[in-house]
Structure 1
Amino acid sequence: DALDNLRKVVPCYSKTQKLSKIETLRLAKNYIWALSEILRIGKRPDLLTFVQSLCKGLSQPTTNLVAGCLQLNARSFLMSQTGDTLHHTRSPYTSVYPPYHSPELSTPPTHGTLDNSKTMKPYNYCSAYESFYESTSPEC
């Protein structure tokens, strides 16, 4: 049905954990808004800002699912939500942009799972960048 098709195109698709109708619609709305902002501003946000935009108004379990699918460090995400600042000595891009793992070449990374029995399809943020800007991201 239409909601199942929508679930497949939002940033976090899991065959084992199906989002509710309302959570799917909220995530889709946030995703459209986030992509519109990327187009309006002309540059992509950092991953943390992107995930925060996607998660506005979502339940905590869905927020955790999205952060996990996008391979964002949960501690970093939670600390940023409470207003704490993280200080990195290296480029922030090296810690938040994971390398792309082709599903054809390897098994999904374990940090893209809720637990050992529920495997998720991680969202490739770099490919979204490439499709919008028709060039490779410097961080990918």
Structure 2
Amino acid sequence: MRPTDTSNFAPAEISKRKIRRVKANGRERARMHGLNDALDNLREYIPITTKHQKLSKIETLRLARNYINALQQMLQTNEQPTPLEYAHTLANGLSQTTTNMLANLLQVQPRHLLPPSQFDMFSDAPLFPQHPQNLQNPPHHQSFCPSSESPTSSSCSPPQYYYSPNQPSAAPLQATCDLAQYQQMYLQNPNRFSSYSP
């Protein structure tokens, strides 16, 4: 087989390669535009929206995964987690910067969301007060409101941090009393929350 003489075809081949490269670049740009548009849409449905800060692609996907897990847990247990429990679920595998934003958004201490090995470096104290009589029903699961008042109308009801299905991009509702205040109040006077009478 005689070798192919490319001297006469080199310019045509180069031209074809350039055309193929231009088309490939155009397809890649279109793909990236589609991906970015999809991620921008996803960012409007996760707890940290673009109104707070625009997350990277990988952080957006990780937070979306954690948010879906949190919603699944709520559906399975039919219970509302505490802000700290909710924050732990959302912060799984996220960077420290994103974790700090979640902590600020949910009004919990960022150090409470650190891995156990890192948390031990800052404090050996437990996250919640441990009292034998309250092990079955920890204080952070109670509404801390008089029985004559509606928990949903009291200013001391647990923080509300879930999103309305009709307003997915809205910021969480802020509570008057946060989790740290509940803990401090309970430590100062544990019997205070069991002495209410109708």
Shorter chain as denominator, the TM-score bin is: 0.5 to 0.7
Q: Residue in 1 aligned with 2:97?
A: 61
Q: Which of residues 108, 118, 123 in structure 1 aligns to 2:172?
A: 123
3-state SS of paired residue (2:44):
helix
Measured in 1, the distance between the counterparts of 2:159 and 2:47 equals: 15
Measured in 1, the distance between the counterparts of 2:81 and 2:172 equals: 15
Identity of aligned residues (%): 44
2:76 maps to a residue whose letter is R
1:82 maps to a residue whose letter is F
Measured in 2, the distance between the counterparts of 1:92 and 1:39 equals: 20
Q: With the length of structure 1 as denominator, give the TM-score of the two structures.
A: 0.59
- 1:67-94 per-residue CA deviation (whole Å, 9 max, x = no partner) reads 11222233554598726413459x4367
Q: Residue in 2 aligned with 1:7?
A: 43
Contact 1:48 1:96 in 2 (8 A): no
Please say which structure displays the higher CA radius of gyration. Answer: 2
Matched pairs, number = 106
| Higher-RCO chain (CA-CA 8 Å, sequence separation at least 6) | 1
Q: Which of residues 137, 140, 153 in structure 2 aligns to 1:92?
A: 140
1:50 maps to a residue whose letter is Y
Give the deviation of 1:18 after TM superposition: 0.9
- 1:80-132 per-residue CA deviation (whole Å, 9 max, x = no partner) reads 8726413459x4367894478xxxxxxxxxxxxxxxxxxxx742489xxxxxx
Contact 2:59 2:94 in 1 (8 A): yes
Q: Residue in 2 aligned with 1:25?
A: 61
Give the deviation of 1:42 after TM superposition: 1.6
Consecutive unaligned residues of structure 1, counting only runs of 5 or more, are: 101-120, 127-140
Q: With the length of structure 2 as denominator, give the TM-score of the two structures.
A: 0.43
Q: Residue in 1 aligned with 2:119?
A: 82
1:11 maps to a residue whose letter is P
1:29 maps to a residue whose letter is R
User: Runs (4+) of structure 1 moved beyond 4 Å?
Assistant: 75-81, 93-96
3-state SS of paired residue (2:108):
coil
Give the deviation of 1:48 after TM superposition: 0.5
Alpha-carbon RMSD? 3.5
Contact 1:30 1:55 in 2 (8 A): yes
